[in-house]
Amino acid sequence: MHAILIALLVASAPDSARGDTLAWALRPAATIAPQGDGRGQVLEPSGVAVDAFGRIVVADAAVHRLQRFDADGRWMGESGSLGSDAGQLRRPESVAMLGALTVAVLDRENRRVESYDVFGHRLGTIVDLQSATLTDQTGRIEPIALTADRGGALYVADGDRDRVLVFDATGTLLRTIGGFGARPGSFRGLAGLAATGDGGIVTAERGNARVQRFDPSGRVAVAWPIAVSRTAGAMAVAADDSGRVAIADEPGGSVRVFDRGGRALAAVTGLARPRALAFAPDGTLLVAEAAGAVRRFTLLRRE
């Protein structure tokens, strides 16, 4: 509790009082996928993930497909089409690497988590979020975001009940985190989450206007307030191995980067509805703009 209070005080202090003058900057470095409906283009990019080799997977909610790119941004292939049958998708959103060789995708309107190999071949359904067996335990689930950790655990954010459901790699429910509220460990307006390198997760809330970092046991290690738009929309989250956290406010058109304790490092504004984020192994940040393109940003120290 003391750590949380200290972090809130530090993060809410003026930049000058904290000695924080945003010494880093986010600079656009490359466009991975420009806007369009052709091969290698995107209409509504809504999820992005990067594997250990820098290869990129992008989900496009408008055309119900996944596209794959190499580390240099060259198009490698695509999977999916509109529908609810095996191999089809309805508004795919979050994408996450599940181990080194599997891609997990939140097939949002079909209310399921699908898996693909790194070559784009469908492997199967990991979690059916509408199954009677699961909903008997949890009630109805409204999936809004997905992440996965290196141990194979899957985390699904439930927007209706302000909670995170934790599954193992086989799709078995392990536990839930949170619930509606303002206390540490609860959520109000849960809008995004990401796994951290140490086995925990980071969450972002619109109602409580804060970020919470959970340790591997599910306890809050630190939290800090953030400025958010009053308009509803996604708040994508990404975390890298150094502990840095990136938060995107989709309706506000901004992305901000913090250190592991909540100290602001860098920010960029004026983006076209940034809906998904992913750190690449080289430290760059991939930003999927739902009304624009998928771009790579470099985090640079200011002179």
Looking at every residue in the chain, the average pLDDT score rounds to 91
pLDDT, tens digit, for every residue of 218-262?
999 999 999 998 888 899 999 999 999 999 999 999 999 999 999
In whole angstroms, what is the distance from residue 36 CA to residue 278 CA?
21
**122, 79 in Cβ contact below 8 A?**
yes
Q: Given pLDDT bands bounded at 50, 70 and 90, which one contains residue 15?
A: very low
CATH of the domain at 61: 2.120.10.30
Domain total in the chain: 1
pLDDT at 96 over 70: yes
Domain that holds residue 122: 2-301
In whole angstroms, what is the distance from residue 160 CA to residue 14 CA?
34
pLDDT, tens digit, for every residue of 283-295?
999 999 999 999 9
pLDDT at 9 over 50: no
Which has the closest alpha carbon to 95: 302, 286, 293? 286
Q: Specify the pTM.
A: 0.91
Q: Given pLDDT bands bounded at 50, 70 and 90, which one contains residue 19?
A: very low
pLDDT, tens digit, for every residue of 293-302?
999 999 999 8
Specify the DSSP class assigned to residue 1.
-
Per-residue pLDDT averaged across 116-136, rounded?
Answer: 96
- First-to-last C-alpha distance (Å) of the chain: 37
Q: What is the helix, strand, coil percentage profile of the chain, to 5? A: 5, 50, 45
- Angle 279-283-286 (CA atoms, 0-180°, nearest 5)? 40
